[in-house]
Amino acid sequence: MAKRKVLAEILEAIHGIETHAAGKSLGDFERDWLLRLAIQRALEIISKQPATFQTNC
């Protein structure tokens, strides 16, 4: 995967978290299954990409 694509995916995941978590409380997060699932998936994308990025450097 190209470096730019990896970075773009990381930035997109970060932006998604910022956008959808803005104004939400911990209680909102705990009650909203879909929000939790989306943020967990975004965190997976962020955490897996650096390994891919280093391998392709």
pLDDT tens-digit map of 22-42: 999 999 999 999 999 999 999
Across 17-26, b (16+ Cβ under 10 Å) vs e yields beeeeeeeee
- Rounded to whole angstroms, the Cα distance separating 40 from 50 reads 17
User: pLDDT tens digits, residue range 3-18?
Assistant: 888 889 999 999 999 9
Region of poorest pLDDT, from 15-19, 26-30, 43-47, 49-53: 49-53
Rg for the chain, CA atoms, rounded: 13
For 38, the token pair is: 């989306």
**Could you tell me the pTM of the whole model?**
0.77
For the chain, what are the domain ranges?
A: 3-55
For 10, the token pair is: 């990381």
